[in-house]
Structure 1
Amino acid sequence: MNDQAFPVNDPQAAAPQQPPPEGDEEASGGRSLPHHRPQAAASQQPPPEGDEEASGGRSLPHDLQAEWTRFGAWREQRLGRLATLSKWLRQSDFDPALWQDSLNGLEQRLRQDLVQLAFVAEFSRGKSELINAIFFSDHGQRILPAGAGRTTMCPMELASDPRLPTGLRLLPIETRLDAATLAQWKTRHDAWNDLPFAADDAQGMSTALAHLSDTLAISLERARELGFHLEDAARAAIVRTSEGLVEVPRWRHALLNVDHPLLAQGLTILDTPGLNALGAEPELTLSLIPAAHAVVFLLGADTGVTRSDLELWTQHVGEAGRLRSFVVLNKIDTLWDPLLGPAAVQAQIERQRESVASILQIPVERVFTISAHKALLARIQQDPELLERSGVPALEAALSQVADRERRELIDSGWRATLLDTLMLLERQFQQRIRQADEQRLELAGLEGKNKHVVRNLVMRIGMERKEFDAGLSKVQALHVVNARQLGKVAELLDVQAALGQLAELRQRIRTAVLKTGVRGALEATFADVRRRIGEVEAALEENRAMLTGACEQLNTEFAFSVPSPKALKLEGIRLELDSTQQDYLRYLTPARWLRLQNTAHAERLVLSALARLRSLLERGVRDAQHWNRASLAQLDVQVRERKRNLGRRMQSLEQVENAEGELGQRIAQLRKQASEMRHQRAQLRQYFEGAMK
């Protein structure tokens, strides 16, 4: 397939140029156009009062600011309600085994969950300028290097983490010679070059980010060792020097940590710099981009879909990415022609949108036409008319809705169900306590008017009950032993070394083999083995559940417990993610990538990436099984403790009655009051949980 099959030529072969000065018409392609969907931006609700203060006084994009400020307030409100509920449960003497794990898990999801937007494009599509326009226009200048030619030379992640210093961290390109994954490199702080700057120093940040354009002049042989695909110099965007060397990016990866109101709300940005960088980093294609909640795929409005654009879309965004992608035709000002009327210009834009949607096989509504350069200029100059014509507000409106919806759905998916399950367990404990208080009161009421001999007989009877109950606890202990043995079987099935042994052996072979073969076969065999192991784990857990159900029914009959049968644990989510991961890797291993796989470090990074993702799934399966195991026995353990406590209280009450005249009526009144207070507390319990579920 070649570029002639699509609207215009691939611009990548052009040599890099210096970024143009602000407002350079040539860099953005000339004049600006009215954007194609003004109604998308207009449909957004205005931000709530106080947004300016909530965002740190910055002039943020309207829709993003409003949506994320609302979400931030919503999240803080939920965290507050969760903290209130936890405090009340702790003060009310509820057994932590029934609620602590569940509520801590919900809090952790709220605090740690991030929404990632991935910006994917070939060189010179205006990706950095769009990020400038959306996130950094309040600085009054261009922050990320942008302009004609290659500017951002390495992938960059943007986030806001108050635990880390403000600044830019750069990973040298030479680290590609080591097979460690990017995730592993992120833990090796001494391997990175740190460029700190003050949070309010826009010029310092701009100066640091200018290093994203740094290059190295090295030999062709060295470039191949570093994983650069040089068989097609134009596609690889490799620049040759007069000395016969080639220019390659100086940095492999960048991490930007800044104090930014949107990023502080949990939004993270992944900026990828083109086909060659993605091709050399399997982890980007197979881990980081698939993890993004939305993908912004940029094209040039003047070029449409080129050959390298299509390769980037099909091989790196992938089928799953299409469902959450927004395609952006940037530089629409290049299509402005003062000799044409507005209607003709708009028709030209619509034809381009429809053509792109058809080629990429996505709905035309997900194709946006913008001018990132004009949007940045409009925000710096505070020109609302130019901003509206740039088309960026419509894109921001869509991104804000998607990011917010993705996050709310992610949190809400298990939020209410977890709280309802926890409430049910606690209400059962409440009911048991109330019943025991009522039974004890009736027991004491039956002693009114009786002599001490009757009381002594009752004390002796309860003593016998305690001995019988303590003897019966051996069955509960045996149940724990059997359950632990079953959990050990699950851990054995999901053992990382055993399940991923073939990939570990493949990694060793790759280091010494002249030809790197067998990668696809080893991956397919490993995925099949992991899938088999997950099936066996589900069968083992179901067998364990049946055993626990029978044991709990027997204990319920013998000791008048009310322990519910454990719920079945299905690892469907892990299985679906395993299938998706396998599809990603097999799609990646095309014949076209065979030459890349002959690079030892690249092939080893691919295998390490697969090992990391599969290890994560296996460890998640073990954690799920452990949590299920604890939850399955929690009710039994709680009711055992409650019974022992109740027997002790009954014995104490009777001994007090036996040794003190007039104590009986007082104790009966106390128990009546206690049961009444617990009924009131049970109503409070539901109110607190209903508040947390809103």
Structure 2
Amino acid sequence: MNQPIRLPAQAPSWSRFGAWRDQRLARLTALAGWLADSSLDPTLWQEPLSELERRLQRDQVQLAFVAELSRGKSELVNALFFGSTGQRVLPAGVGRTTMCPVEIFNDPEQPISLRLLPIETRAESRLLSDWKARPQEWQEHRFDGGDAVAMSRALQRLCDTVQVPLERARELGFHLPEDDGQVSALTAAAGGAGPAQDVEIPRWRHALLNIEHPLLAQGISVLDTPGLNALGAEPELTLSLIPSAAAVVFLLSADAGVTRSDLQLWTDHVGAAGRARSFVVLNKIDMLWDPLRSGAEVQAQIRGQCESVAQVLQVPPSRVFALSAHKGLLARIQGDDTLLQRSGLPQLEAALGECADRERRDWIEGSWRATLLDTRQRLERDLDARLRLADEQRMELEALQGKSKHAAAALLQRADAERLEFDAAVGLVQAVQAVNARQMARVAELLDAKRALQRLELLRRELRSALVKTGLRAALADACDELGLSMNRAESLLEENQSMLAGACVRLNNEFAFSMPLPKALRLDGARLDLEAMRADYLRFAGAVQWLRMQSSAYADRVLLSAQARLRSIQERGIADAQHWNRAAVASLQAQTRERRRSLHRRLSNLQQVAHADGELAERIQQLRQRAEQLRELRQQLSNRFELALPGAEALAAAA
């Protein structure tokens, strides 16, 4: 009988983020609902809160499983995610393993299915991200999401291979045994491995598995990579997917330790940046369970292996986990808690759960607090300005008590003059907005990576016909430097823009009694860090180790396409950061202008009523007094509502 996929009870940290996210979404929904029912200007709060909501709902944390063939990656994924189904779901075991990278995720808007991209697509100059936007090119296999047997049967296709001539294998980016004398993922077809013989290669280039899973539904996704050959042939895996993972699980075999191919995979495809996010798994420790040796001797041998691995890979020993994925899966299927603890699986499970939980919370928490505090500050300034204007108008009318209508007429005349002054202020605001729009258009032009992209595009065309493909590393460095210089120029222009906006705010505050906050400085630090990381990743990847692969036109083309896509992504982040800063800087200016216009209209209306009708003065004063009280109450409610939404609200609620 099929069993539903459940969360592992032994690792409660897996499920904590889901509850935390639901709580945050509920707070945000309550805050946005209250703001929508209030009289507060939507332009001051709607966009930032909507962006927070989108971030919470779309947040994804990917765990990448990286290892050479036959280290037990798929079995570990089975043990961590599918043990509750009562069977092995992903193909694993002797002679059965996944032959292509597999992304496992939950997208409720897409059908439950396995989608497979044919290996022949490697011959075309398109990125994996481009192929994902072309669903018609994938072979789709749908199955009942609640039927683990049907899912397991569909996933057997991940083991598919196809025989092709040696030259065709090279064209598709596979590294052949005779290329350097090393064992590869390709196996010779029957009859030997001579130059004219066929070899077996994976039938599929990439797989996308969309399933219903309580853990994946909370924003976890899995990337299972099938060894050095696949990683070497797909630059996007090394340069995009693995670097974006929150954690990298690097598997070794306990009986072999760190082999030469393991070390090459670790150095070339995990790299220094990934090392800080890596969990090293010494798998198959059950092979060391020797009944002729004492438990203490076995544990000492395992500890020695872990210490040796930590030293070779230069990672803290606390990041090395010895376990048996096979025994862990078996224990889950049989409900054997003793075997589960002996397998070592719960320790890794808890560490990964803590990492995923912390990664997502930290990523969201900083922007959550900053966004809410900034939004509250803007709304409070707006309310303070409205309250001040209401009090000024009330005091102005109170000064008319006991005086003739001529005094009211004089005030009306003065209000008319102030309206003319306001029109001058509006003219200044419009002029500032026009200059600001031109400046931001120039910022977007500066951040446009056109020249850097053109440099790479020119090299792409040159390499297609070049017999020996050189210059890629230098071109990548130049393209990154070009975008870096553009960022410097854009930041200088943003500083000028900030000075211009600050000068306008000071003038509006001094001459027209606005209460404009000075715009904050902006540095494109996020985009710059992305660019620095890209530069390091690509220059490392395009080194001497990959030189032979780079001689393939299709492979070099994919590397350059990947670099172009990442440059565009960095450019878009820089432009988005600049636009977000600009909208925040201009929002208060626009809101105060609108409120000042409404206030002048109310003031003129009050004075006209008082000047032309008896008995209106006391009524208008009372209305303004009530309005001021309402604004003070609204400000207090605003403060309370934001306190409930900010981090730390749980402690406040508990104390109350």
Range class of TM-score, shorter chain: over 0.9
Contact preservation (8 Å) 2:67, 2:265: yes
Contact preservation (8 Å) 1:438, 1:671: yes
Any idea what the Cα deviations from partners look like across 1:504-545, whole Å, max 9, x if unmatched?
A: 111122222222111011111111111111111111111111
Distance across 2 between alignment mates of 1:671 and 1:473: 25
Contact preservation (8 Å) 2:280, 2:321: yes
Distance across 2 between alignment mates of 1:692 and 1:508: 54
- Match of 1:313, SS state, is helix
- Match of 2:152, SS state, is helix
Contact preservation (8 Å) 1:123, 1:150: no
Letter in 2 for 1:238: L
Per the TM alignment, residue 278 of structure 1 is displaced from its structure 2 partner at its CA by 0.2
Contact preservation (8 Å) 2:449, 2:483: no
Q: Are 1:445 and 2:398 an aligned pair?
A: yes
Distance across 1 between alignment mates of 2:168 and 2:53: 49
The aligned residue for residue 458 of structure 2 is 505
In structure 2, relative to structure 1, the CA distance for the partners of 1:237 and 1:57 (3 Å cut) is closer
Per the TM alignment, residue 169 of structure 1 is displaced from its structure 2 partner at its CA by 0.4
Distance across 2 between alignment mates of 1:57 and 1:117: 22
- Match of 1:326, SS state, is strand
Q: Are 1:81 and 2:27 an aligned pair?
A: yes
The aligned residue for residue 97 of structure 1 is 43
- Match of 1:569, SS state, is coil
Q: Are 1:171 and 2:124 an aligned pair?
A: no
Per the TM alignment, residue 105 of structure 1 is displaced from its structure 2 partner at its CA by 1.6
Contact preservation (8 Å) 1:119, 1:298: yes
Any idea what the Cα deviations from partners look like across 1:215-247, whole Å, max 9, x if unmatched?
A: 010001111111111114643221111252100
The aligned residue for residue 651 of structure 2 is none
The aligned residue for residue 62 of structure 1 is 9
Contact preservation (8 Å) 1:63, 1:400: no
Letter in 1 for 2:586: L
Q: Are 1:111 and 2:57 an aligned pair?
A: yes
- Match of 2:517, SS state, is coil
Per the TM alignment, residue 455 of structure 1 is displaced from its structure 2 partner at its CA by 1.9
Letter in 2 for 1:308: S
Q: Are 1:563 and 2:511 an aligned pair?
A: no
Q: List, as ranges, runs of 4+ consecutive aligned residues in structure 1 with deviation greater than 4 Å.
A: 56-59
Any idea what the Cα deviations from partners look like across 1:38-65, whole Å, max 9, x if unmatched?
A: xxxxxxxxxxxxxxxxxx975432244x
Query: Quick check: 587-596 or 216-225, which moved more?
Result: 587-596
Distance across 2 between alignment mates of 1:60 and 1:573: 35
Q: Are 1:188 and 2:134 an aligned pair?
A: yes
The aligned residue for residue 316 of structure 2 is 363
Letter in 2 for 1:684: Q
Matches within 5 A, 1:264-275: 264-275=217-228
Per the TM alignment, residue 583 of structure 1 is displaced from its structure 2 partner at its CA by 0.6
- Match of 2:242, SS state, is helix
Q: Are 1:484 and 2:430 an aligned pair?
A: no
Q: Are 1:161 and 2:114 an aligned pair?
A: no
Any idea what the Cα deviations from partners look like across 1:529-587, whole Å, max 9, x if unmatched?
A: 11111111111111111121112111211101111111000111211221111111111
Letter in 2 for 1:132: N
Q: Are 1:342 and 2:295 an aligned pair?
A: yes
Matches within 5 A, 1:208-287: 208-230=154-176, 231-232=179-180, 234-242=182-190, 244-287=197-240
Any idea what the Cα deviations from partners look like across 1:589-639, whole Å, max 9, x if unmatched?
A: 121211101111110000010111111001111111111112112111111
Distance across 1 between alignment mates of 2:418 and 2:4: 69
The aligned residue for residue 590 of structure 2 is 637
Contact preservation (8 Å) 1:286, 1:585: yes
Match of 2:536 among 568, 576, 583: 583
Any idea what the Cα deviations from partners look like across 1:458-484, whole Å, max 9, x if unmatched?
A: 222212211221133222111111111
Distance across 2 between alignment mates of 1:68 and 1:684: 36
- Match of 1:617, SS state, is helix
Letter in 2 for 1:205: M
The aligned residue for residue 372 of structure 2 is 419
Relative to the length of structure 1, the TM-score reads 0.90
Per the TM alignment, residue 272 of structure 1 is displaced from its structure 2 partner at its CA by 0.3
Q: Are 1:540 and 2:540 an aligned pair?
A: no
Distance across 2 between alignment mates of 1:110 and 1:475: 39
- Match of 1:347, SS state, is helix
Contact preservation (8 Å) 2:452, 2:480: no
The aligned residue for residue 325 of structure 1 is 278
Distance across 2 between alignment mates of 1:590 and 1:266: 35
For the aligned residues, what is the CA RMSD? 1.3
Per the TM alignment, residue 446 of structure 1 is displaced from its structure 2 partner at its CA by 1.6
Match of 1:519 among 472, 478, 486: 472
The aligned residue for residue 354 of structure 1 is 307
Distance across 2 between alignment mates of 1:235 and 1:554: 73
Distance across 2 between alignment mates of 1:277 and 1:233: 18
Query: Quick check: 207-216 or 450-459, which moved more?
Result: 450-459
Distance across 2 between alignment mates of 1:277 and 1:150: 16
Distance across 1 between alignment mates of 2:75 and 2:112: 22
Match of 1:469 among 407, 422, 426: 422
Contact preservation (8 Å) 1:227, 1:602: yes
Letter in 1 for 2:106: S
Per the TM alignment, residue 429 of structure 1 is displaced from its structure 2 partner at its CA by 0.7
Distance across 2 between alignment mates of 1:428 and 1:326: 48
Distance across 1 between alignment mates of 2:45 and 2:599: 21
Distance across 2 between alignment mates of 1:223 and 1:349: 40
Query: Quick check: 487-496 or 595-604, which moved more?
Result: 487-496
Contact preservation (8 Å) 1:123, 1:149: no
Contact preservation (8 Å) 2:65, 2:73: yes
Contact preservation (8 Å) 2:8, 2:84: no
Distance across 2 between alignment mates of 1:325 and 1:245: 37
Match of 1:121 among 64, 67, 70: 67
Contact preservation (8 Å) 2:63, 2:223: yes
The aligned residue for residue 7 of structure 1 is none
Contact preservation (8 Å) 1:124, 1:150: no
The aligned residue for residue 383 of structure 2 is 430
Distance across 1 between alignment mates of 2:233 and 2:246: 23
Distance across 1 between alignment mates of 2:544 and 2:582: 45
The aligned residue for residue 389 of structure 1 is 342
Q: Are 1:407 and 2:355 an aligned pair?
A: no
Contact preservation (8 Å) 1:61, 1:393: no
Contact preservation (8 Å) 1:326, 1:368: yes
Any idea what the Cα deviations from partners look like across 1:99-131, whole Å, max 9, x if unmatched?
A: 122111211111111111000011101111111
Relative to the length of structure 2, the TM-score reads 0.95
The aligned residue for residue 25 of structure 1 is none
The aligned residue for residue 298 of structure 1 is 251
Contact preservation (8 Å) 1:167, 1:195: yes
Match of 2:574 among 621, 624, 627: 621
- Match of 1:254, SS state, is strand
Any unmatched runs of 5+ in structure 2?
A: 192-196, 648-656
- Match of 1:568, SS state, is coil
The aligned residue for residue 80 of structure 2 is 134
Per the TM alignment, residue 496 of structure 1 is displaced from its structure 2 partner at its CA by 3.0
- Match of 1:164, SS state, is coil
Per the TM alignment, residue 336 of structure 1 is displaced from its structure 2 partner at its CA by 1.3
Any idea what the Cα deviations from partners look like across 1:240-297, whole Å, max 9, x if unmatched?
A: 1125210000000000000000000000000000000000000000000000000100
Distance across 2 between alignment mates of 1:476 and 1:235: 70
Match of 1:685 among 616, 638, 644: 638
Per the TM alignment, residue 70 of structure 1 is displaced from its structure 2 partner at its CA by 2.3
- Equivalent pairs counted in the alignment come to 638
Contact preservation (8 Å) 2:376, 2:642: yes
Per the TM alignment, residue 150 of structure 1 is displaced from its structure 2 partner at its CA by 5.2
